[in-house]
Amino acid sequence: MSASPSAPSPPPRRTLKLELCFDGLAFSGWQVQPSQPNTRTVQGELQAAACRITGESVTVLGCGRTDAGVSALRQVATFRTESLLPCEKLLLALNANLPAEIRVLAVSEVPPSFHPIADIARKRYRYLLSDSRPVFPLLKDRVWFTRSRFETEPMRAAAVHLLGTHDFAAFQTTGSPRTSTVRTLYAVDFAHYPIPEIWAPRRAEGLPPLEILSIEVEADGFLYNMVRAIVGTLVLFGQRHGGYEDPKLMKQILESKDRAQAGPTAPAHALYMLDALYGGPNGAPAAGSAD
């Protein structure tokens, strides 16, 4: 009697890298919340879409856990699957199964060793704010319209003291667990943009143009709410708010490691993850090519 043929071995698991963008206003952050199963999250939507396509229960691991209201222009994530669907078909299938607030930009196969968090070299975020008056209602959920006017030059001068490797404990939300609060900040870049003419109301002659200030922050990693705390503090310098007239005070705030010494946490809705930068062959483009 001949032996029964052995069952065919399952196909090898592939590691797929996703590059995606999403509108954070539609979600309660990136991470699935097991205690609140009916809460919409970016991770939850991606996992549900991947499950429908592959028939597998997958875990999508992102390079950062953005808060509720925070959007991403380029986020990187991975998941493992036995599906043999080509990457280009997976891209189409994922977008067909995702809500309109999430779009996958690219799918590629990477080595199993690739890790979207451990392998990251730098991350870059963009924050949008404006002191233009009147407050422009069509952008109220995309830009932080501050209550008071601010000047950019004192903000630039204060930001210089943040560059380099420091303990950023003064700029993290109290109680967030971190092994170390030391990070290296590579850039704090300022740029002014006019509100696109197609959106802007007609201005009376002689009035200044409506403008948005972009602050882009790049580091090897960020503490919880670090970018928003930095922006909230910079705005105080820009407004020359009581006690924040001298930009050199930023160095003292940094060295204090005391969150109470820094400014408020800027609103989440105006923060955008701009890019995740990797140094390996499967990484992202170099900084500046894209938060």
Amino acid letter, residue 163 = L
CA distance 136 to 130: 9
Q: Which of 67, 119, 189, 220 is catalytic?
A: 67
Contact 254, 169 (CB under 8 A): no
Is position 258 annotated as part of the catalytic site? no
User: Cβ atoms within 10 A of the Cβ of 287, count?
Assistant: 18
Q: Which of 103, 99, 117 is nearest to 40 (CA)?
A: 99
CA distance 166 to 163: 8
Beta bridge partners of 104: 20
- Cis peptide leading into 137, omega within 30 of 0? no
Amino acid letter, residue 165 = T
Query: What is the DSSP annotation of 33-46?
Result: -TT-TTS--HHHHH
Residues catalogued as catalytic: 67
